[in-house]
Amino acid sequence: MTKSSQDELVFLPLGGSNEIGMNFNLYGFGPAHARKWIVVDLGVTFGDQTTPGVEIILPDPEYIEAYADDILGIVLTHAHEDHLGAVHWLWPRLKAPVYATPFTAFLLREKLRDARLLDEVSITEVPLGGKFSIGPFDLEMITLTHSIPEPNGLAIKTPLGTILHTGDWKIDPEPQLGEATDIDAIRKLGDEGILAMVCDSTNVFVDGVAGSEADVRVAMNKLISGLTGKIAVACFASNVARMDTVIRAAQAAGRKVCLAGRSMHRMSAAARSVGLLVGIEPFITDDQAKYLPENEVLFLCTGSQGEARAALSRIAEGTHPHVKLSQGDHVVFSSRVIPGNEIPIRNLQNKLADRGVRLHTERDTPGIHVSGHPCRDELKQMYQWARPEIAIPTHGERRHLIEHAAFARDLQVPQQVTPRNGDMVRLAPGRAEIIDEVPAGRLYVDGGVVTAENGQALRERRHVAFNGMLAVSVVLDGKNRIVSGPQVRGLGLAGDNDYPLGDAMDDLAEEAETAFKRLGGDQKELDDAIENAISRAVKKAAFRIWERKPVVETTVLRV
């Protein structure tokens, strides 16, 4: 590798900085006018109550799309949705080859097949610990531990220095599946000199260590062996080590395992493709489970976060076609509550409790879950191994990044930078600093269509959700006289005994008719003029009644 006096090495997060999820990181090398880029991870986040009808949110690639010809590759650190879930949505805009280890590549191919892109996307499988080069970047996968198979850090070597991009990680000496953290590889990089470490900040406020999957295995064996009745265990399907633990605990207790939820089936297939989940008994089907005694079955379920369409939610609602839980049965939540999901999880657990189901969570049953992200002692250890010149916290909200930077400073890391999405950081030459701010937004997947973050459809949906809607219809004859209506119907608006909703609709109809009569003869020839006048009058009257400004849709029909 060679360098020129104009070359720069830059880091540009377009997702995942100032937020947890939706990771989209770029590294650029070369002169400012002719940089070559690699993308590290391309993930999604998920909608909430502020995005009605939107379940999937993507990072906006507007800036880098303009330089698509200079993107040399997309490198995936692991297979969690917030790291690869946007590839099949955004690849047509970037069209770069993809590099991933086998487990991640298997799951990516499934997504690309569903999106009818499998034959178009070039995927290079990189072995664990593998090394490869993309233009001016020499890359090495560094084996780490996390809550999914084959998590990798990424060593990025350039003529201006080496970056260690950790991805998601923890230090688990006994991960149960897969290899332990490759400490020697990290130390070797540290000895050679690491310019910058771009590092996970999720648990920076948590003292100690995250805990080992080995501890979960002990706790889960003890819990499941002591329960009677049917058991359902909810965990993240991507946590194959946790799946393995639950399956083996069930078998030790004389129970057959039934997978409930498509993600469970997909992840188990991916795991088997790379030699995991070996030495376990075959899973039973939903139909077979119905005929087994209650003490001989365990359901391994999706839906630990209260997702409405997941298996556990349908069980709680009583709408699952095969799995029924009732008095004396148990549900084990082997997962944490992701911030923002508190309400749907609480609602789910209340529905299960109402059916007489006994709940077991990490709060009342210690040890049945451990985090997949590093706590402070693990962060300290990583910095001692890597010894970077620059600390760049990522994968965290603003408070996480600032605390991580302060922690790195306490650990004697010479420089710290806490970029927001869209902040371009020059790592070399010279002192690290933010040198530019580029567009960095979000795209919404709305009914399978990718739309702008503040698109009209979602604005209207939010408006209706908070303020209600009124539909006004009026029928005119050939002489512009009203022959029917105005008729007003409301959605999401309240009435009471003193002022019933029907009376309110009648009063609004009178306002609409008055507004029509005020129009001049020429205006009555124009449907747009009529609709605008009636809508304004009805909206104004609605505010007097409800102190809200509902969406008003007026329709003029002529006969």
Sorting pLDDT into bands at 50, 70 and 90, what band is 136?
very high
Q: Among 299-303, 304-308, 369-373, which stretch is predicted with the lowest mean pLDDT? A: 304-308
Q: Are 477 and 558 in contact (CB under 8 A)?
A: yes
Mean pLDDT along residues 225-248: 96
Given a cut of 90, whether residue 159 has pLDDT beyond it is yes
Please give the Cα distance from 92 to 70 (Å, whole number): 15
Q: Specify the DSSP class assigned to residue 32.
A: T
Write down the number of H helices and E strands in the chain.
Answer: 16, 27
Sorting pLDDT into bands at 50, 70 and 90, what band is 4?
low
Q: Are 356 and 164 in contact (CB under 8 A)?
A: no
Q: Are 508 and 470 in contact (CB under 8 A)?
A: yes
pLDDT at 180: 95
Which residues, in sequence order, are bridge partners of residue 74? 39, 98
Which residues, in sequence order, are bridge partners of residue 36? 29
Given a cut of 60, whether residue 1 has pLDDT beyond it is no
Mean pLDDT along residues 403-420: 98
Task: State the chain's mean pLDDT as an integer.
Answer: 93
pLDDT at 503: 85
Mean pLDDT along residues 138-165: 98
Q: Which of 494, 511, 492 is nearest to 502 (CA)?
A: 494
- For residue 501, what are the CA distances in angstroms to 463, 497, 537? 20, 9, 18
Sorting pLDDT into bands at 50, 70 and 90, what band is 456?
confident
pLDDT at 497: 80
pLDDT at 18: 93
Please give the Cα distance from 460 to 181 (Å, whole number): 49
pTM for this predicted structure:
0.87
Structural tokens at position 382: 């990583």
pLDDT at 3: 57
pLDDT at 454: 75
Mean pLDDT along residues 409-431: 97
pLDDT at 547: 87
Mean pLDDT along residues 251-272: 94
pLDDT at 2: 56
Amino acid at 299: F
pLDDT at 492: 85
Given a cut of 70, whether residue 470 has pLDDT beyond it is yes
pLDDT at 479: 84
SS3 label, residue 291? coil
The string of pLDDT tens digits covering residues 123-134 is 999 999 999 999
Given a cut of 70, whether residue 315 has pLDDT beyond it is yes
Structural tokens at position 422: 């869209």
Given a cut of 90, whether residue 446 has pLDDT beyond it is no
Given a cut of 90, whether residue 481 has pLDDT beyond it is no
pLDDT at 134: 97
Given a cut of 70, whether residue 269 has pLDDT beyond it is yes
- Write down the residue that tokens 């069930």 correspond to: 250
Percent of the chain with pLDDT over 70: 99
Given a cut of 70, whether residue 155 has pLDDT beyond it is yes
Residues with Cβ within 8 Å of residue 365, at least 6 apart in sequence: 219, 223, 332
What is the set of domains in the chain, with CATH numbers? 8-208+371-452 (3.60.15.10), 213-360 (3.40.50.10710), 468-558 (3.10.20.580)
Given a cut of 90, whether residue 402 has pLDDT beyond it is yes
The string of pLDDT tens digits covering residues 45-93 is 988 777 777 889 999 999 999 999 999 999 999 999 999 999 999 999 9
Mean pLDDT along residues 298-326: 92
Q: Are 335 and 371 in contact (CB under 8 A)?
A: no
pLDDT at 340: 75
pLDDT at 408: 98
- Range with top average pLDDT, 420-434, 444-458, 491-505, 524-538: 420-434
Q: Among 64-68, 78-82, 223-227, 464-468, which stretch is predicted with the lowest mean pLDDT? A: 464-468
